[in-house]
Structure 1
Amino acid sequence: MKQGHLWQVGLDVPVDQAEEASRLLSAFFGVPACIYTAAEAATAEVSVYLEEPVGWNDATEKRLRSMLLRRKPRWWQKCLSARLIKREDWAESWKKHFHPLRIGSALLIRPSWSRARPVAGQKEMILDPGLSFGTGQHPTTWYCLRQLVSARRVGRRQAFLDAGTGSGVLAIAAALLGYQPVWAVDYDAEAVRAARANMRLNKVQERIKLMRGDLTAWPAAGRRRFDVICANLTADILIQCMPQLFGRLNPGGKLVVAGILAIQFKEVADCCRDFGLELAHHQTSRGWRSATFVLPPAKKFCRKF
């Protein structure tokens, strides 16, 4: 492979199957996949970017196609693509797709090349897309950001936990908005590295406790409690770590869940209700369901068995 080039190996799949495709490619290549979904699009482009010359060849393509043929839906095999791109072409393509995001008058998220500037009183986050992690454009991340802004009470100390931080966008937003303390955790080492770099870029690294860890391995109850917890995770992982999330939520606190396929939401909602959480708000966008649950201040926990 020529120096300065990348292999882009991707799948074009329906939006509601993008996360599954992402997990498939990540597991096969051993690197995180990234998802790009254009506004109002019915399909998503799921890609991995390979820098090693041995990362893509005829034998690898044959193995991947064989695996795809065994998976559902089988037409994934026809949607596989691989091309050699210049690193600068990859960067330029993101400039076309990634535009500044404004979360009301509270927060502006922009790439470093954007000329957009915050209005009076608006906090600013600089976030460039990386090879592996996104920038807040996904509808589930967008929902979490709006809930963060909505839940903030200026002048009041509010603790925030970002469960599955990825690029760190939610933790950084929380720190900029004035949440304190802010904790962020992810199991993936590459995610932690990306989040740490983004926190430094936005000069909030001293305000965020960033950890690598498995939420499901945490004790069910923790000493530190949080007023807002964002868990942008898949449905199966959300359900697995619900005892840990519930055990760290302050009475009256909010649990914001995202990353859930609409067809899987009932299972997650039932799990939340079993822990005494009440549904306060929900939204569906392009096949994804996101929601905010509240732990009533005076309600005692009663798990159904």
Structure 2
Amino acid sequence: MKWYQVIIKTKTESIEVINGILYDVDVDGIEIIDPNDEIYSDSYKGDWDYFDKEKVEFEYNGAIIKCYFETDDIEDILSIIKEKVDSLKNEGIDCHIDEVSAEVVKDTDWANEWKKYYETFKIGENIVIKPSWEEYNSKKDEIVIEIDPGGAFGSGTHETTSMCVEFIEEYIKENSFVFDIGCGSGILGISAAKLGAKKVIAGDIDSEAVRTTTENVRINNLENIVEVKEGDLMEVVKGKADIVVANIIAEVIAMLSVNIHKFLNKDSVFIASGIINGKLDMVLSALKENGLVVLDTKTVGEWSAIVSKLGEDNE
């Protein structure tokens, strides 16, 4: 089979919907370049970053999604994507696409090209995320995590990851038991382990995310603390955790809220992020309807994160 790079030119508002379609057709990797993302603006006040913004060259005045497939029939995949886009448009869902193109690439081309953008950055109070290929001299009290993002690294989740780590730092206690739902490259679960969790179970339905997280757990020497599982974490784990963290999307968090009480003790917290601001009220309503009480919220740029716990009726 050959590797193909598919380039989709779209607009900011359609990125989330198109990403959902791509995961439905088993995409092997996604890179998003959106000049409208706040992190590219001169007014951005964040004190950390995943990459050197000056190295990013915009090829288009809208958003570009670069995605990668290993396949024998790219035309079949493109046809399915078009059908799904047309179906959503017929349902009144904004799924704007200006142009789609595909070309054969070498696996090593896309697997390594993104590395030139990523540098060491600080997240939360003391966590430092260091790409595995960089050198870094840590300062006093800094907790350094080595990460090889791989294909599971999402370039559009900067604020959401930061807020999750800040909440983990605030709510974690020594010997906490943590569930990380949708672990991606493993940053959240590994952060929890480095901050004192006695056990972390991290899971993802994406096999590439599972592979990447497993490797990152290994290079941080945390195999005795972090266990990685493939599948819907809520279906492959038993018991309850002190912290359940999910950095996914608003709709999934709302669905999780229906059964999340099964995995929480009365003093446990549910940290949820990946919530675009326009859907914050929807998630808050879902949490309330399912017996959870909101303890705190954070908003950075276009994204929000929520901490909740069981209400008295669900304890």
TM-score class normalised by the smaller sequence:
0.7 to 0.9
Q: Over residues 2-38 of structure 1, what are the superposed CA-to-partner deviations in whole Å (9 max), with x where a residue is unaligned? A: xxx842213244444323211212223x234424356
Aligned residues: 288
For 1:7, give the aligned amino acid: Y
Aligned to 1:202: 220
TM-score (norm 2): 0.77
Cα gap change, 1:37 to 1:169, in 2 (>3 Å): farther
- The superposition leaves residues 96-138 of structure 1 with CA deviations (integer Å, 9 ceiling, x where unpaired) of 3222221244211111232333212212111123234437953
Query: Residue 171 of structure 1 corresponds to which residue in structure 2?
Result: 189
The answer to whether structure 1 residue 282 and structure 2 residue 301 are counterparts is no
- Cα distance change, pair 125–16 in 1 and its aligned pair in 2 (3 A): farther
Greater shift in the superposed pair: 203-212 or 88-97:
88-97
**What SS does the aligned partner of 2:151 have?**
coil
Q: Which residue in 1 is equivalent to 2:53?
A: none
Q: Secondary structure at the residue paired with 1:241?
A: helix
Please list, as runs of the form range in 1=range in 2, the aligned pairs for 1:122-271 lying within 5 A after superposition: 122-134=142-154, 138-153=158-173, 156-215=174-233, 217=235, 224-271=239-286
| Change over 3 Å in CA distance of 1:228–1:130 after alignment to 2 | same
Counterpart of 1:7 in structure 2 is: 4
The RMSD of aligned alpha carbons is: 3.1
- Correspondent of 1:79 among 95, 99, 106: 99
Using the aligned pairs only, state the percent identity: 26
Aligned partners of 2:274, 2:62: CA distance in 1, in Å? 16
Per-residue CA deviations over 1:159-189 (Å, capped at 9, x if unaligned) read 2110121222211111111112211122333
Check conservation: 2:125, 2:166, Cα contact below 8 A. no
**1:203/1:137 Cα in 2 relative to 1: closer, same or farther (>3 Å)?**
farther
Relative contact order, CA 8 A, sep 6+: which one is greater? Answer: 2
Q: Which runs of 5+ in 2 are unaligned?
A: 41-60
For structure 1, the residue ranges without an aligned partner over 5 or more in a row are none
Secondary structure in structure 1 of the residue aligned to 2:313 = coil
Contact 2:18/2:95 (CA < 8 Å) preserved in 1? Answer: no
Name the aligned partner's letter for residue 98 of structure 1: Y
